[in-house]
Structure 1
Amino acid sequence: MEFSERTLLLQSNNNSSNKLSVFFAIICIVDIFGVFPIVALPKAIIDCGYYGIATILLICTVQIYTASLLGRSWNIAQEINPNIKLKSRYPYSALAEITYGKYLSRFVNFLVDLTVFSGGIPNLIVASQNLELLGLRISNQNTDISFCYWIIILGVLLCPMLWLGSPKDMKILCSISVVLVILVFLLICWCILFGTTPESSTVTDNSTVEIWKYIMTAYGIIAFQFDVHPVVLTIQMDMKKKSKLPLAVLCGFFVSLLMFAVITIISAYKYGTFIRPSLLETLPTSIPLHFAAVLVALQLCLTSVVSNNALYQHMENCLNISRDFNCKRCILRTILTILAIVLAESVPRFDLVMSLIGGSLTAPLVFILPPLFYMKLQSLQKKHIEQLQEESITNILMPRAGPSSEFSEEYSADLSKYYETKFKEEFKAYAGKCDKFFECVFNRKLEIVICCIIIIASVCATCVTSYLNIRSSALSYVNFSKPCIYNISRTLLYL
């Protein structure tokens, strides 16, 4: 099979040798999480105090569960309508269409594209801040190139790379990215353990009134940083053993959370609450820190180039742009890159962007839609089984034409009863093949209750988090920090 730029990022041919093993599926999931849990998540959890432990454990457990629900939903959808495989390029919207119709499918497509595009903005900001930090540390505060300018520089450098289309070998790129993540983890551990402790590093108790605000902010950031749901179905379809998706998701979360836990524990012990939104800004100057800053910027840029191509390809499909290299593609991707630069220059703090995206855009994809799809597909599966049973029984009981029938009525009734019983047993075994593990743990009715609780709690948390983040963003504009675009525009006016 010949690959084109229209091929899915993780898609391969039907040969099992080119399919993803469980190990590489875990690599892909860890790559999706990237360095953000190591660099940008510790402060949000430390601010919550001991409540932060319960917060991240609860949210990540729900995320693992809902990611598994998506995989199970796809298996049920294939059973009900095998033609859904033809829409495997956009599996999330395909699930939306088979469950609630084409209008929700279009909305899900828009939401996924918007989430992917917005997710690249914090990548650009954090990478630029790390390069600014690196310049200051190396030159002993003498060279100050603002990250506002680094955003523009990185955007210009990345733009030609985005013209070339999607990567041809995701296994290699994902492996390189995960190696960078592990190296960043080791370097930061070295910096924390063997670096100096600031004198102002004291642990302060957050008031009871503020704790819930910190928890809501942490909820949005966690949802953003551990958002695997838009691509988890693509990973499943490219796995050799599709039933092992829950194991891959669980192991991927475990690896990233383990690195995050180690960094957070030693950071809280050594620096207390004296931690900035980016952990690299807190650490003392050292050669390992310089390498860590470069690797973080490289990993974030690599992640942006890889993840944004899915969005670009979808938009090119919508605009009927040829898959070959052409001017229209370059113009479209350049416009989107410029838009990303403008948005990155327009926000005061990257942590607010992560929390806003995670709480408002990512949360429906992670916590609300998977349980809704699963419950609807359970109902459709039940109707599908009943319909197949009725059709089978009707075919068996259909009397043969003509007066010379070979079977007597009594024998025909016994035969139909035998086939009906056998059909029920075989179909029940087939339908429950993919859900064997979960059915041992959860009763179907209990699962429905759990799904309803997740949906209700997520809707409430999403509304509260969105309100707090919008309010915090407004306060940051007015009282605390001005966005880059404000400072650049003022500089241009004075020229």
Structure 2
Amino acid sequence: MHGLTIWTTAVFIIGDIAGGGVLALPRAVEDTGWIGFVLIVVFTLLSTYTAALIGKCWVIIQERYPEYQSHVPDPYPIMGEKTYGKTGRHLVTLTMNIYNFGSSVVYMVLAAGNIETLLNDVTKDISFCYWLMILTFILVPIICLGTPKDFWPIGVGATFSTAIACIFIVIQALKDNSHNKGTTVHSDVGIQKFSSAFGTMVFAVSGHSVFPTIITDMKKKEDFKIAAILGYGIVLMMYIPTAMSGYFVYGSNVDVNIIKSISAGPIAYVVEILVTLHLLLGFIIYMNPVCQQFEAKLGVPKEY
């Protein structure tokens, strides 16, 4: 049976959640103090638990309602309907699509801005707005690829681009640390900064709106719990070293985007390319649940 395995599911989970949030974590830890590292671990554990519950809910629905044994384009709204009726279905559909579409728009805007910066010396006449349209025309056909099992390389690319970017950030931070000579200072923790950092950390482990779509493509849906533990475990291995490098090396000088804090050079350039790649691939992952529902309304076969 063709479908996602535990590993490919974990890859999609990582590609879904480990993106722009990782770049803001060093600043978030700086704004909360050392307790920020504890919060990252706690939020990761809580998100793993809630992700496992989503998987368990879908398994229960398939056991009780045989009509959902095959692939469905709207698993999350179905969960809402079986729990709270039509009102629950409409509420879940509205909030999920707003979140997914909104996140996709943000990803596209950030990617267009990054490409404009990266290619500014070569394509000076192509503005941000034009890049936004160019990327849209390129990616729109790709979001019609079907379901996650049909475009698993997208998940692999999103995961590895972020993982390599994190490694390069830590390497450059260690290089920069050799020039600091122990002069790192930290800012005071305030309520406003702590609250903002709190939200950043929660956002960095979010992405549950895509999980039901991934679950429906698994060979064994009951294994999603294992995939969630594996995926979030790897994400934590990316987050902690990156956050530590920003906190201990740059301190109060760390930027909201860690890329702007590391020294300019080849590594910083490569990191920005990798982050841009993740944003483009993340756009496809976030838009897929929205597109599946839209295509189902139009009667488009899922094989398309």
- TM-score, normalised with respect to structure 1: 0.54
SS at match of 1:89: coil
User: In 2, distance between residues paired with 1:135 and 1:192?
Assistant: 25
Q: Secondary structure of 1:272's partner?
A: helix
The counterpart of 1:110, out of the listed 94, 97, 102, is: 94
Question: Does the 8 Å CA contact 1:30/1:255 hold for their aligned counterparts?
Answer: yes
CA distance in 2, matches of 1:156, 1:281: 26
- Matched with 2:239 is 260
Q: 1:55 to 1:186 in 2, by over 3 A?
A: closer
Query: Within 2, Cα distance between the matches of 1:273 and 1:144?
Result: 35
Corresponding residue number in structure 1 for 2:169: 188
Residue correspondence of structure 1 range 37-116 to structure 2 within 5 A: 37-85=21-69, 88-116=72-100
Counterpart check, 1:222 vs 2:207: no
Provide Cα deviations, 1:107-143, integer angstroms capped at 9, x if missing partner.
110111100011123323433443455468xx7xxx9
Deviation at 1:25, TM superposition (A): 1.2
Instruction: Give the Cα–Cα distance (whole angstroms) in 1 for the partners of residues 71 and 89 of structure 2.
Output: 12
Distance 1:202 1:29, change over 3 A: same
CA contact (8 A) 1:37 1:260 kept: no
**Correspondence for 2:145:** 167
Contact conserved, 2:81 with 2:89, CA < 8 A, in 1? yes
Q: Equivalences for 1:18-417 in 2 at 5 Å? A: 18-85=2-69, 88-131=72-115, 133-134=117-118, 149-150=127-128, 152-164=129-141, 165-167=143-145, 169-195=150-176, 197=179, 202-207=184-189, 210-211=190-191, 213-318=192-297, 320=298
For 1:429, the equivalent position in structure 2 comes to: none
Distance 1:79 1:317, change over 3 A: closer
1:285 offset after TM fit, Å?
1.0
Residues 1:199 and 1:297: Cα distance change in structure 2 (over 3 Å): farther
Q: Which residue of 2 aligns with 1:361?
A: none
Q: Is the 8 A contact 2:176 2:249 kept in 1?
A: no
Q: Is the 8 A contact 1:166 1:306 kept in 2?
A: no
TM-score (norm 2): 0.85
Per-residue CA deviation, residues 445-478 of structure 1 (Å, 9 max, x unaligned), is xxxxxxxxxxxxxxxxxxxxxxxxxxxxxxxxxx
C-alpha contact (below 8 Å) 1:27/1:178 kept by paired residues: yes
Secondary structure of 1:217's match? helix
Counterpart AA for 2:196: T
- Whether the 8 Å CA contact 1:84–1:94 is kept in 2: the answer is no
CA distance in 1: counterparts of 2:214 and 2:294, whole angstroms: 21
Give the structure with higher Rg (CA): 1
Shift in CA distance, 279/306, structure 1 to aligned 2, threshold 3 Å: same
| Deviation by residue 1:364-396 (Cα, 9 ceiling, x = unmatched) | xxxxxxxxxxxxxxxxxxxxxxxxxxxxxxxxx
Measured after TM superposition, the shift of residue 272 of structure 1 is 0.8
Instruction: Give the distance between the partners of 1:48 and 1:28, measured in 2 at CA.
Output: 30
Q: Deviations over 1:150-184 (max 9, x none)?
A: 2x233211222244242353222222222212221
Cα distance in 2, alignment partners of residues 177 and 146 from structure 1: 29
The CA deviation at 1:92 is 0.9
Q: Is the 8 A contact 1:31 1:178 kept in 2?
A: yes
How far the C-alpha of 1:32 sits from its partner, in A, is 0.7
Q: Deviation string for 1:164-214 (max 9, x for gaps)? A: 24235322222222221222122212221223657997423424xx24x33
CA deviation profile, 1:312-352 (whole Å, cap 9, x unmatched): 3433544x37679xxxxxxxxxxxxxxxxxxxxxxxxxxxx
* 2:73–2:293 contact (8 Å) kept in structure 1: no
1:32–1:303 CA contact under 8 A, matched in 2: yes
Fraction of identical pairs, as percent: 23
| Higher RCO structure, 1 or 2 (CA under 8 Å, sep 6+) | 2
- Residue number in structure 2 paired with 1:465: none
Give the RMSD, CA atoms, in angstroms.
3.0
Paired with 1:299 and 1:159, the residues of 2 have a C-alpha distance of 15
* Equivalent position amino acid for 1:189 in 2: V
Report the count of equivalent residues.
297
CA contact (8 A) 1:37 1:256 kept: no
Structure 2: which amino acid aligns with 1:120? S
Contact 2:210 2:286 in 1 (8 A): no
CA distance in 2, matches of 1:27, 1:185: 16
- Cα displacement string for residues 295-320 of structure 1 (whole angstroms, at most 9, x for unaligned residues): 211221122134224323433544x3
1:253-272 Cα deviation digits (max 9, x unpaired): 11111111111112212111
Distance 2:183 2:92 in 1: 45
- Gap runs ≥5 in structure 1: 1-14, 325-495
User: Which structure 2 residue ranges, 5 or more long, are not aligned?
Assistant: none
**Kindly tell me: are residues 67 and 20 of structure 1, through their superposed partners in 2, closer, same or farther at Cα, counting changes over 3 Å?**
same
Q: Structure 2 vs 1, CA of residues 267 and 222 (structure 1 numbering), >3 Å: closer, same or farther?
A: closer
Task: Tell me how far 1:146 sits from its aligned partner.
Answer: 12
